[in-house]
A = this chain, B = another copy of it.
Amino acid sequence: MTADPRRLAPREGHMPERDRPRADARAKVTGQATYTTDVRRAGMLHAKVLRSPHAHARIVSVDASRARALPGVHAVLTRDEAAGLAPVGTFVKDWPVIAGDRVRYLGDTVAAVAAVDERTALAALDLVEVEYEPLPAVTDVGAALAEGAVEVFPEPPLGIVPHYGQGASGALRPLPNVPYEFRFTMGDESAWDECDHVFTDEFRFSRMNHMHLEPFVTVAEATDEAIEVWSAAQSPFPLRRDLATVFGLPENRVRVNVPYLGGGFGAKHGIRAESVAVRLSQLAGGRPVRYCMTTEEVFLTSSQHAAVLRYRTGVKADGTFVARSAEVLLDGGAYSDLSPLVAEKAGYRAAGAYRWRYLDSVARAVTTNTVPASAFRGFGGTQATWAGERQVDLIAERLGMRPYELRLRNMKDLGELYAPGETPIDSDLKEGLRIVAEAIGYADRDRSGNRGMGVAVGIKDGGGVNKPAQARVKVTTRGDVLLQCALTEMGQGGHSAMAALVAEVLGCPRERVRYAPIDTDHSPFDQGTNASSGIAVMGSAVTQAALRARDAVLQFAADQLGGVDPAGLTLEDWTVVDAAGERHPLVPWIMHTFGGTGFEFTGEGFFKATNSDLAPLEAPCIFWEVGWAAAEVEVDPDTGKVTLLQLVVSGDAGRVISELGARGQDEGAAVFGLGQALFEEMRFEDGCLLNGEALLYRVPLAEDIPERFTSITQEQGHAAGPFGAKGLAEGTMLPVAPAIAQAIADAVGAQLTELPMTPARVWAALRAREASEAAGAPAAG
């Protein structure tokens, strides 16, 4: 890997903490860091779960009496013991802790056991007798929406529709097997009349697994009156809310502790292993229960949304984009979880990076008898970008234009609105595209030998919907800092970045800043670690908290100096420098004023986007997350095998807070995109997952990374986050697959519309191309 020097150039002044390694590096490489999987509680029991072998079946009977009698078993949970628990779901409450009258996918939770060890728990599961009556299953969106399809929920569960602003609306269960439909419209529908060409194309997007190395794992201690969990949870407060809902407790009786996470990528939102462990702990008289899933169980618990996207796009003869209608069908699996939100985002993001006079979209979450789909890095934006960028290439080919120029012609300008009431675009999209094109040598590319290049861009509204975040900084007598905020450390480097912000504001080395353990009883409230929100949302709250703590210190110093103006004072590593440059150590003042135990100065920070009635959702987005990619491939026309020769990715950080962190996000997201482009796919057959284990599920390997792999973290400086920063982590993933697809077309003319672009699919597209050329017209394959 090479690093472009451009990303090292700071915008204003020097931020001393930006070029430091991660704060948790040493603890992690020495094995000192505590993950949930390391949590051990005295007297801890171990849970295992019995899962459905059917994609869809009625449960006739469950007999767990022999399991209960097994020595070492402390609790057995069947639908009887789960009867009083509420099901969960963000808008539609449909996912029960234990399946009730029926199982809805192969892997559904039927019973659970807590025992002295995992082996005993597994032995007990073997003794649970379940009688099923198999039912017909719908295992993809086509089958689920077909006339007369079996209904996964014959009686619709409870649901709510969020509030919307202009242009957007949502509907619960507009069709059988569709729990939620989102619609969005902007502009003037008469724009269609101005189109010289209207193209309709369909794109398919397969289902990835998150492949977080740490499985879903939790340790729960619970009674009927109070719950405490240690959990691998991205978003502690949403988990608290969900557990409070399931178990009918006030939120202040549920305590969520979150150690380090071994990756999340969206999967660790909401309840995963927790409800089973909590209920087992209650049944075991409050003894702690650990439930750590196997990788195979993780595959059966959460996934990305497979999608079918139909884009109808009208353009002028000169290539100007005019109007688009997008229809998106997302395979939500058996339970709705976050599918409604993913549908909203997939629908809302149909415009891509381009200017339209009219746009409408409808996005449906579809229920199937497969593994539930949930949040996944990109969150609907990946699906939308795949379809949108691919259609640009198809249109370019049809119009005889170059994909690169067609993009520049239609791309939104810096500061332009995406939709009425939205945050103006805060990156120069064209500049970014030029940077990656230039870095890969697009203009002078050599297409010989079945080689070709492609460029693409992806944008998503970043930072989450309407997220309030709070943070708190405590500074001890000697100037050491405790930072309290619920941003979880999932590997993304968030804790290092937050500490760097505090250190920058307080004028101290980052080592002085300790991130307090995340604990919902104490941590300031936060809506969750998601949507690349860390730097822009929580970072803003943290920066404000640090500024307020610094102001409190300087005001104290000003008082000690006889009432000078605190604005003339600066703080340098716990020494106050006055306007005349004289240095005043703080410790003696503090001890004199507050007595022998000293004091803690504190500052509170809060951030939330202002709500807007004009916005399609409830607040304009926090920032625009943008990624650009350029790829060079070589395609073997006989086998369809694609060799990635070069990959250039770039994100716009606005302002880099943590250099290695930003680079890690850009490069990590790129590799995710690469996996999606060429390899990754959860393959189902009649609702049965065929490759649901680590050895069978193909992710990018080190050898798949091209030798020429360049990341360029731009610092365009247009963002509103702390020091001009904005989020990374998802943006750079979006354009990778489209850039590679365009490169394949550039190399051999095959236009792929389905992911991943396996040799078989490339080979098929090449054959379709040949057939179509023989028939005299270009075609999508």
Residues of chain A touching chain B, judged by Cβ–Cβ distance below 8 Å, are 32, 40-44, 90, 162-163, 223, 235, 237-238, 241, 250-253, 465-468, 470, 474, 476-478, 480-482, 484, 512, 514, 516-517, 519, 521-525, 527-528, 592-600, 602, 604, 608, 611, 618
Residues of B within 8 A of A238 (CB): 596-597
Q: Taking each of A476, A528, A597, A611, which has the highest tally of chain B beta carbons within 10 Å of its own beta carbon?
A: A597
Q: Contact: B40 with A43, CB < 8 Å? A: yes
Q: Contact: A482 with B604, CB < 8 Å? A: no
How far is the CB of A121 from the nearest CB of chain B, in Å? 18
Residues of B within 8 A of A43 (CB): 40
Q: Contacts A252-B476, A477-B251: A468 and B599 contacting too (C-beta < 8 A)? A: yes
Residues of B within 8 A of A223 (CB): 32
Residues of B within 8 A of A481 (CB): 252
Bound-state CA distance A476–B604 (Å) is: 17
Q: Which residue of B lies closest to A606 (CB)?
A: B602
Bound-state CA distance A678–B56 (Å) is: 79
Q: Which residue of B lies closest to A162 (CB)?
A: B596
Q: Contact: A514 with B596, CB < 8 Å? A: no
Q: Which residue of B lies closest to A514 (CB)?
A: B252
Q: Contacts A593-B611, A602-B604: A484 and B522 contacting too (C-beta < 8 A)? A: yes
Q: Which 9 pairs of residues, A with B, have the shortest CB-CB distance?
A: A40-B42, A522-B522, A525-B600, A250-B480, A252-B480, A466-B595, A251-B476, A516-B521, A252-B514
Judged by DSSP, the binding face of A is: loop
Q: Contact: A522 with B519, CB < 8 Å? A: yes
Q: Which residue of B lies closest to A475 (CB)?
A: B252
How far is the CB of A344 from the nearest CB of chain B, in Å? 12
Bound-state CA distance A163–B618 (Å) is: 57
Q: Contact: B252 with A482, CB < 8 Å? A: yes
Residues of B within 8 A of A90 (CB): 596
> Residue A476 contacts which of B250, B593, B618 (CB distance < 8 angstroms)?
B250
Q: Taking each of A237, A468, A516, A596, which has the highest tally of chain B beta carbons within 10 Å of its own beta carbon?
A: A596
Residues of B within 8 A of A468 (CB): 594-595, 599
Bound-state CA distance A635–B593 (Å) is: 52
How far is the CB of A341 from the nearest CB of chain B, in Å? 9
Q: Contact: A592 with B252, CB < 8 Å? A: no
Q: Which residue of B lies closest to A596 (CB)?
A: B90
Besides A40-B42, A41-B42, A474-B524, 7 new A-B residue pairs in contact (Cβ under 8 A), listed by A number: A40-B43, A251-B476, A251-B480, A252-B480, A466-B595, A519-B519, A527-B594
How far is the CB of A89 from the nearest CB of chain B, in Å? 11
Residues of B within 8 A of A476 (CB): 250-252
Bound-state CA distance A600–B608 (Å) is: 13
Q: Contacts A250-B478, A512-B250: A524 and B598 contacting too (C-beta < 8 A)? A: no
How far is the CB of A221 from the nearest CB of chain B, in Å? 11
Residues of B within 8 A of A604 (CB): 602, 604
Q: Contact: B516 with A466, CB < 8 Å? A: no
Q: Contact: B608 with A527, CB < 8 Å? A: no
Bound-state CA distance A53–B597 (Å) is: 34
Bound-state CA distance A604–B223 (Å) is: 31
Residues of B within 8 A of A484 (CB): 521-522
Bound-state CA distance A714–B594 (Å) is: 32
Residues of B within 8 A of A594 (CB): 466, 468, 527, 608
Bound-state CA distance A197–B668 (Å) is: 91
Q: Which residue of B lies closest to A594 (CB)?
A: B468
Q: Contacts A594-B468, A596-B162: A514 and B237 contacting too (C-beta < 8 A)? A: no
Residues of B within 8 A of A252 (CB): 476, 480-482, 512, 514
Q: Taking each of A238, A253, A466, A528, which has the highest tally of chain B beta carbons within 10 Å of its own beta carbon?
A: A466
Bound-state CA distance A482–B237 (Å) is: 14
Q: Which residue of B lies closest to A484 (CB)?
A: B522
Bound-state CA distance A604–B601 (Å) is: 12
Q: Contact: B241 with A598, CB < 8 Å? A: yes
Q: Contact: B42 with A465, CB < 8 Å? A: no
How far is the CB of A340 from the nearest CB of chain B, in Å? 11
Residues of B within 8 A of A41 (CB): 40, 42
Residues of B within 8 A of A593 (CB): 611
Q: Contact: B514 with A253, CB < 8 Å? A: yes
How far is the CB of A285 from the nearest CB of chain B, in Å? 11
Q: Contacts A162-B596, A468-B599: A516 and B522 contacting too (C-beta < 8 A)? A: yes
How far is the CB of A228 from the nearest CB of chain B, in Å? 10
> Residue A42 contacts which of B42, B466, B477, B608 (CB distance < 8 angstroms)?
B42
Q: Contacts A476-B250, A516-B521: A600 and B470 contacting too (C-beta < 8 A)? A: yes
Q: Which residue of B lies closest to A513 (CB)?
A: B252
Residues of B within 8 A of A523 (CB): 522
Q: Taking each of A41, A237, A480, A600, which has the highest tally of chain B beta carbons within 10 Å of its own beta carbon?
A: A600
Residues of B within 8 A of A611 (CB): 593
Bound-state CA distance A241–B604 (Å) is: 23
Bound-state CA distance A519–B90 (Å) is: 33
- A-B contacts, 22 listed (Cβ < 8 Å): A238-B597, A250-B476, A250-B512, A251-B476, A251-B480, A252-B476, A252-B480, A252-B482, A252-B514, A466-B594, A467-B595, A470-B600, A474-B524, A482-B521, A482-B522, A484-B521, A519-B519, A521-B522, A522-B523, A525-B599, A525-B600, A593-B611
Q: Contact: B525 with A521, CB < 8 Å? A: no
How far is the CB of A473 from the nearest CB of chain B, in Å? 11
> Residue A470 contacts which of B44, B595, B602, B618 (CB distance < 8 angstroms)?
B602
Bound-state CA distance A523–B465 (Å) is: 30
Bound-state CA distance A474–B40 (Å) is: 29
Residues of B within 8 A of A465 (CB): 595
How far is the CB of A528 from the nearest CB of chain B, in Å? 7
Bound-state CA distance A602–B252 (Å) is: 14
Q: Which residue of B lies closest to A526 (CB)?
A: B597
Bound-state CA distance A238–B525 (Å) is: 28
> Residue A527 contacts which of B42, B44, B595 (CB distance < 8 angstroms)?
B595
